[in-house]
Each structure stands twice: as C-alpha cells, then as structure tokens.
Chain A
Amino acid sequence: EIVLTQSPATLSLSPGERATLSCRASHSVSTFLAWYQQKPGQAPRLLLYDASNRAPGIPARFRGSGSGTDFTLTISSLEPEDFAVYFCQQRYNWPPLTFGGGTKVEIK
C-alpha cells in the first residue's frame, strides 16, 4: 500500500499570502496524484489531477507540481474562501486508492 504523508498538518497564513503544501509518497506514484479541498460540513472538491492539471472551474491560483514521491500544491495568493483542509490522493498503485492525512490551511 502506498502511504501519502502531508505536511505541515496545519498552515497558518493571512489572506493574500502564498500557501505551499507538501505530499510525499512512500513509493513512486509517477504523476498519478490528485488534490482535493474540503470545507467544514461539505464534500471534498477535486482541485487538481495527475499532479498538475486543474479540474474544470478551478482558479489559476491553484498550481500543482511534482512527480515520483514529492508533490506540492501552491496557492499563489490566498483568498478568504481558500481556508480549508486539503488532501492528496494517489491512483498509481491500487487497490487501495489512498489519501494523505490532510493539511488544514487556517487564517492567521
């Protein structure tokens, strides 16, 4: 099973600042990694798939990069609606499809 480790667990930032979230895989997942955003009481929403492709309707301030075992989600300038929990997920070696533990981006 591929284990995904996200860091940091919590990121405290102000609106307008840049957010950099990390996802590290226990084995290579090539570029078969997705990112999701989840707000309290809501279902997750797909942001990026295959490491760097934005899902329809996702703003350009969300950017994904990486391959192999190290991936980054960058939010270039935080908007108020971006404060949420972010999860990564791999589809390279499954079953199981696995998620990271999440990074909470909170208002500083």
Chain B
Amino acid sequence: KAGVTQTPRYLIKTRGQQVTLSCSPISGHRSVSWYQQTPGQGLQFLFEYFSETQRNKGNFPGRFSGRQFSNSRSEMNVSTLELGDSALYLCASSPGGTSFPQRIVYEQYFGPGTRLTVT
C-alpha cells in the first residue's frame, strides 16, 4: 500500500497571501488529521476530518481551515499568512471509526509533511 502523500513538499509564500496544502491518505483510510510543527510550539493539532466532516478541532484561529473530499483526500487552507505560520504541516491518516465487537485502537500514519516558509 502506498503511504500518506502530501503536496507540495516545500512552499514559499509572502505574508498576506493564502495557501492550500493537500493530503492523500492511505487507501481505505477515512480519517485525516492535520498538525503544525514549529521549533517553538512543537507539534500542535489543527483538526481532524472523518467522512467529509470535521470531527475534532484544535485551538487555531479561523484563518486555518480544512475540508475532506468524498475520496478521503483532504486539503487545508491558511488565509492571510503571517510570519508565524512558517512551519512543517503534517497530515496523518487512520482507518477511523470504531470496530465492533472488539475495539481496535487505530493508529495514525503520518506523511512526510509540507514545509511552508512565509517571508
């Protein structure tokens, strides 16, 4: 199976612009989560989508948004970029949901990330 893919891998934008990052999960996975990684704040949860619905959300301003398509691919968008948005953005995919009758703890598989630099 192919792993999680993220495009583009590197991106340079100017302050005030907007950007869209893409994530293709592992085939069959329905949950996609996004994380921001910076040297100062570490890894922080942005949001999670499952079956095209946002299921969980972190503490980020409304400039950060996302969506998920019917094929489980996900995009995240950052509008009005600020210098502090420079970070590695990681996407993680998981089968999602809950298994019955025995509950399986699904793990999350991370992509290589998109390195965003805001100048």
**Do these two chains interact?**
no
Give B residues with C-beta under 8 Å from A. Answer: none
Give A residues with C-beta under 8 Å from B. Answer: none
